[in-house]
Structure 1
Amino acid sequence: MKLFAHRGYSAQYPENTMEAFVQAYQKGFDGVETDVHMTKDGQLVLIHDETIDRTSDGKGYIQDYTYDELKRFSFSHGSAGYYPLPLLKDLLTFIQDKDFLVNIELKTDVIHYTELEEKVHQLVCQLGVEKKIYYSSFYLPSVLKMKSLYPQGYVGYLMEENYDKKYQELLKYHIGAFHPRYDFLNSQRIKQLKQHNILVASWTIPDFKEYQRLKELGVDILISNEYLR
């Protein structure tokens, strides 16, 4: 069972910053989960929301800024100090020489960025870290596109509602990994998924009790803000 840091070690450091990713590695997480969006000039950046309002001292949509324009904001989520918005390339370069994994969530369910999937996978391949990358998305077309780009790799389907519908889509499209919200999982559902050789990753694990429950049920990857081991 692997433990991933949700948006980096976000319980202790500003989410989706290089500091949060580096500290997750140093703490002993097996990997990090992060979110990728695309700027006006086609740069791949790591941030959860479509806008910069919640996590920075600026306002507006990521897609309306160039990366250079975004450098003037601090993505500190209210913490003191300057935290620049990281590029996906920054994180992938960091893991190149490390035994450390990255779950890249493709944030295409609200804004359908043109060719985001291709650009992400091209960068991953350029840096030679394919075997350290787990892709996921809530948006089925992105999941299927990434499956076609990387048929031998890990591509997961995220869900936080409509479990039965998503489960049927998993089977229909032969998707090899499922990422349901933790409270949707029970022994029967996990057994059902395992019978179809579907890997299970769950988020966002709130406490040690849930961590133990899901670990005992055989979930493959647990994603948490806290280090729960």
Structure 2
Amino acid sequence: MRLRILLSLMLLLLLAGCKPSISDTGENIINTGRFLDDVIVVAHVGAPYEATYNSLGGFALAKKYGADAVEFDISLTKDNQHVVMHGPSMEMNSTCQHLMKNVAEYTLEELKADCALNNGEPIRTLEEMLLEIKDWFDYYFIELKVYDQNKISLQADDVAKTIKTFSLENKTIVTSYDHDALKKVVNQGIVGGRDTYTPNEFTHLNNSAYEYFLTDFRVLDNSIIDFIAHTDRKLVAYTASDLAQFKQIYDMGIRIIMTDDIKNTMHYVLSGSN
């Protein structure tokens, strides 16, 4: 009887050890239930092949499929409110595309009254979106879009304040192609990710305030990947359009990968089958 109890306890401990977790540094995923246990998969704008991008519905699908992280864009309205939209135009995912206006030409009230996403969802502020999804993912990559250089400080202050309001400092990486805006965000204690198409920037990694660097996987080569591997910075490659490209990026040795094909990618990551 005692032996049976002892064996049962050992089995419970073994099963507990198999629960998925991500290290505090974000460098490794330890998940014995996954086929690939060393990769962080980032759902680019949710699930764009099945849902309106930057939508709650798309993020819900990414969560359903098991994405480790989600990436989305934020833009500023005329009255200085961050909304979850790529901008600057109202683009193809909005019912206001035909008006040929930019996000910055609307106040938040006007935007909510006149426009919606193509799937019928309301356009949400950053705060409204985080309220919905703050417990869904291990990491949040928020791309800060800057279309008015005079509002850089305002944008940096607002996004940092909102992230801290939800206590997401340890789970959020703010990314941007605008160096000045990103630097101001990082100075407020938020982790920064530098978006760049220029491989030469990687030679300055050790003097950079940014913990993450994000770039198109097609500009990377072995020398850049090896160089970054010997720093304490993290490389994020974007954007795999399908499972074949995800595998290509993975075989390059990159372990944080952004993808549009979140459904098929996560099926492969979890099960090993195509």
Closer, same or farther in 2 for the Cα pair 1:97/1:53, shift >3 Å?
Answer: closer
- 1:135 pairs, out of 148, 161, 174, with 174
User: C-alpha distance in 2, partners of 1:68/1:19?
Assistant: 22
Instruction: Note the aligned Cα RMSD (angstroms).
Output: 1.8
Q: Which residue of 1 aligns with 2:31?
A: none
Q: Is the 8 A contact 1:92 1:129 kept in 2?
A: no
SS in 2 for 1:144: helix
Q: Give the C-alpha shift of residue 217 in structure 1.
A: 3.0
The runs of 5 or more residues in structure 1 that have no matched partner are: none
Check conservation: 1:25, 1:100, Cα contact below 8 A.
no
Flag the structure with higher helix content. 2
1-structure distance, mates of 2:138, 2:51 = 18
> After the TM superposition, which residues 26-175 of structure 1 pair with which residues of structure 2 at under 5 Å, given as runs?
26-58=64-96, 59=99, 60-71=101-112, 72-76=114-118, 81-108=119-146, 110-112=147-149, 113-114=151-152, 115-150=154-189, 153-160=190-197, 162-164=198-200, 166-175=201-210
Q: Distance in 2 between matches of 1:16 and 1:32?
A: 10
Q: Match of 1:34, SS?
A: strand
- In the alignment, is residue 12 of structure 1 matched against residue 50 of structure 2? yes
- Name the CA distance, whole Å, in 1 between partners of 2:245 and 2:138: 24
Alignment correspondent of 2:5: none
The 2-side partners of 1:119 and 1:47 are apart by 16
In percent, how many aligned pairs have the same letter?
21
Report how many residues are paired: 220
The one of 253, 258, 262 equivalent to 1:218 is 253
Normalising by the residue count of structure 2, what TM-score does the alignment of the two structures yield?
0.75
8 A contact 2:77–2:105 mirrored in 1: yes
Higher-Rg structure is: 2
Amino acid at match of 1:74: A
Structure-1-length-normalised TM-score: 0.88
Would the aligned equivalents of 1:202 and 1:221 in 2 still touch at CA under 8 Å? yes
Q: Distance in 1 between matches of 2:185 and 2:205?
A: 14
Gaps of 5+ in 2: 1-38, 267-274
